[in-house]
Every structure is written in structure tokens, then in C-alpha cells.
Structure 1
């Protein structure tokens, strides 16, 4: 058989074999179904009610937290969730107590500000245990919500934290206030992205220099859109109620 004909025959055989192989390929090998049992973090809650949770991470400084708290008081915002790091809580116990005494919800933001996914479960348990102990000693709050440092996690990390009794809280709307992009940029980002059931990420650390100016605009703007403020736990309860009704 001439070389040209051999090449054509080989090519035809290869194409037929490839086609038959695709027909016999298992459907789940092409597109795996998502695992419903895989541990998950909470970004937002599915609800028709105009409810949002304002959340503030604090891991450094004492210049920004107090103005943020004053704004919330002046604007009569009584529901918000603060995620506190252990070392910050120890260094600034009076501010941590003020957050508790104002009735705001307190969550855990870890101890060392390092990505949990880079460390084994034993390290994660130790770090979360240290911050949990510090928050409990200062505020008498046993935390059950956690926002991991840098928002870093993977399924293993979530599974480890769930086994400690924690619900991992992320965010759906990120203010990017830590980048200090400008007061209007921070406020507009939140106001244009917020949706019912949203968890909104902000910071009350000293690195977020513009949040005291942006926060009043965010509060007023969300209220003008008909939103009410709740804690993260209250938002999660809405999802539970909806599930039970269904």
C-alpha cells in the first residue's frame, strides 16, 4: 500500500476510535455533579426581604474602631457583626467591651493573620482556640461565627472549623475599604452591589482610613433603598425559617 494511503487509513482509524471513545465516556467524567455534602462558607442568604448584614473585621489599631462605633450609634444602627482577632481584643479590651455593650454581634477573626489553608488542622484548632479564649475572657462571648484571616479557606479548612462548632462567614459585597480608593468609591461600590440577604464586608481596622467618611453614606443609601440592618445570625435565621416553611 502506498505511503499516502497508509497515512489516510491511519488518520481515519484514529478519528473513528476517538469518536467511539467519546460516546462510551461516562457522563460524570465529562461534568461532575457538585457535592451537596461538601462543607461551605456563607456568602449571602436567599431571601426576598430587604435585609443586609453590615460586618466589620478588626485586627489592628484603635483609631478607626471608635469613630465607626460612634457613627453606628448616631445613625441608630443597633444590628451589626464584628469579627475580632484575638491579639487585637487583648490589646484593646475596652473597645471590644464597648462593641459587646452596644449590643453588636461578635465573631472570631482568628489569631495570627495568616492563611489557614497553608497550615494543618492542628494549627488551625490552636489558632482559633487562642482567639476564642481571648474574646471570651474580655467580652464573655463564646464565638460561633468565624471569618478567616484574608477570607482564606478550602473545603478542609471549613470542615475543620465546622467540627469546632463554627460557621464560616464570607461576604457577597466587598467594600474594598482597606484599599482606600476614595470615600465615594467605597460607598458607591456597596450601594450598587448590595442585594437582599447580603453580607457586606467592611473593616474597622486602622488600615481602612476612609471608612468613617464612607459609612454614613452607606447607611443612609441602604436605608433609602428600603434595607434594614440585621446581624449575621439573624440573617442565617431567615434562611432557616424559609427552609422550614418550604
Structure 2
């Protein structure tokens, strides 16, 4: 019994000697320091560390541009050294194809900027958006939706409130197909001629009817015919919506041929472009080839929300 007690006391003393405020940090430092010491002698690890800065890209802050107004930020890239080492360790040599990156967020975001219209996405993001303003043209919507589905492309449909009231099933069909919906006023007025009260009413009524029909809340507002005042943009912001314009206009309401629409867009399309279109016969016929040609330029087509997202496109 005495021997057992002595052994217990020895064990307790040993445990206390290791787990005390002075020794514990030292033991922890030995554990934490073991891996870095090993890596310091590993040529592969050091090669990754040495080359990391070559592949790093700083993030871009959102800003107000003199010409293009509000421009969203864009994430930067930083090499994740440990993850890259783990991926390359099997072959034992540096291979840039196996580098693992972490995205670094900018310090200034779109939401930090004063209310300002948006004409394009970040010019370094290889993505574009189709904004399709809908106040008429029901007969062409099904064909356009079918083409978008064929190419696995999502777009942003800006719906007139009065149109949604009269066509709730079509509005639901757009959302069910995975597309984004935005606010295009209630009765398509010239927003520059409205009082603040009238402008607010146009936006609020449209938000209400779109949410009632589709369950979606609008976060983007596209003024009819691109008409706005600073006050219009401010009111939209107060309703938690950003005002969206466009970079490239198809001018499809003039009923040009599909070939003219394609040439008009492809000659101007670039990273970050927002392409304005409507449900017209010409656009419906041009859409299939237009998508193909845009994608051949290594540009992804997605919604305005995706275009404004700071997430870096990695290919």
C-alpha cells in the first residue's frame, strides 16, 4: 500500500512539474516549433516561400471612377504556403500548377461607397452580365429562357412592376429558371421628371409586387431608359438597392437584325461589361451565337450580383 502511495505521489509530482505556468509554455513552444524547424531544412518548402510573392496579387478596393462611377472591388490572391507544400510534397518538387491560393478581401467595398450608379463590374474580373429589361415582349421570353438554359447561363431580369402584376406566372418562371430579378420601376416613367415621393412610390410598389409574385427581394434598380438624377440613386440606396446602368447597349428595341446585335456587342464586350437587352425577336434569335462568342473570349456570363461580387474568378 505504501509503494502504491509513493508511486501516486511521484506521478502527481511529475504531472505538476510539467503542467505549471512556467513549463507549459516551454513544452508548447517545442511542439509548435518542431514543424517550422523541419521545414526550414526542407528545400521544397523554402522554394515555395521564396516564390510565393511572384504569384501574389493585391486586392483592389471599390472606388468611384470619374467616368464609370461606382466600381466594385476585387479580391487579391496570396499563396497558402502550407497547403501548397502538402500538395507538392508527394512529387518532392516545386510545381506552380499545384500552388494553393487564399483570396484576400479589399479594405473598401461597394457598400462603403456613397450612392452612385454602376455601369460595369471590376475591369479585371473575366465576367459579364446580361441585364434584360422586361415591360413587354412576352412572346420572346420562353425562347430566350430556353437559350440561357441551354448554355447554363444566368441573367438579371429587371421587371416593370405593372408587368409583373399582369404576368405573375412569367415572373415566377424567370426566377424558377435560376435567374435574378431586379426593379425596373412600376410604370416605366422618366425618373428624372418625378418628385422624390413619386420616385419612391415607383420603386416601393415594384418591390412589393415582385416579392409577392416571386418571393425575391430586389437589390438592384434599373431606371427606365437609363434616366435618373442623383436623388433617384439616393432613394434607391435608402431602399437598399444599387442603381444599375450598362456598358454595352444592344439597342434591340429598334429591331435591328440579329447580326447587327451580335456585331454591336462583340465589338465592345470586355471584362466587367454589363450588356443591356430586351425580350425582342432580334435578341431572341441572336442570343445563342452571342453567348458562344462571348464565352470564346474566356468571359463567364452571370448575374449582376455575381459580377459585383468581390470573389476572384479562378480558371
In the superposition, the TM-score normalised over structure 1's length comes to 0.78
Aligned with residue 45 of structure 1, among 111, 116, 121: 121
- Give the Å deviation of 1:106: 0.7
CA distance in 2, matches of 1:45, 1:183: 26
1:73 aligns with 2:149: yes
1:233 aligns with 2:305: yes
1:159-174 → structure 2 map (5 Å cutoff): 159-174=234-249
CA distance in 2, matches of 1:45, 1:230: 11
Q: 1:213 to 1:125 in 2, by over 3 A?
A: same
Structure 1 or 2, whichever has the larger Rg, is: 2
CA distance in 2, matches of 1:229, 1:38: 27
1:63 aligns with 2:139: yes
* SS state at 1:49 partner: coil
Q: Tell me the residue number matched to 2:201.
A: 126
* SS state at 2:115 partner: coil
Does the Cα contact within 8 Å between 1:56 and 1:202 map onto a contact in 2? yes
Q: Tell me the residue number matched to 1:88.
A: 163
- Give the Å deviation of 1:155: 1.1
CA distance in 1, matches of 2:194, 2:165: 24
- Give the Å deviation of 1:111: 0.4
CA distance in 2, matches of 1:136, 1:38: 26
CA distance in 1, matches of 2:123, 2:245: 17
Q: Tell me the residue number matched to 2:278.
A: 203
1:184 aligns with 2:259: yes
1:215 aligns with 2:287: yes
Moved over 3 A (4+): 34-39
Structure with higher RCO (Cα < 8 A, 6+ apart): 1
Output the aligned Cα RMSD: 1.8
- Give the Å deviation of 1:48: 1.8
After superposition, give the CA deviation of every residue in 1:136-160 in whole Å (9 maximum; x if it has no partner).
1100111110101111002121112
* SS state at 2:131 partner: strand
- Give the Å deviation of 1:199: 0.8
Gaps of 5+ in 1: 1-33
The count of corresponding residues between Structure 1 and Structure 2 is 203
Does the Cα contact within 8 Å between 1:66 and 1:95 map onto a contact in 2? no
1:146 aligns with 2:256: no
After superposition, give the CA deviation of every residue in 1:6-55 in whole Å (9 maximum; x if it has no partner).
xxxxxxxxxxxxxxxxxxxxxxxxxxxx7997632000022323200111
- Give the Å deviation of 1:82: 0.6
Q: Tell me the residue number matched to 2:34.
A: none
* SS state at 2:264 partner: helix
Does the Cα contact within 8 Å between 2:128 and 2:300 map onto a contact in 1? yes
* SS state at 1:89 partner: helix
1:101 aligns with 2:173: no
CA distance in 1, matches of 2:288, 2:115: 36
CA distance in 1, matches of 2:239, 2:147: 34
Q: Tell me the residue number matched to 1:16.
A: none
- Give the Å deviation of 1:63: 0.3
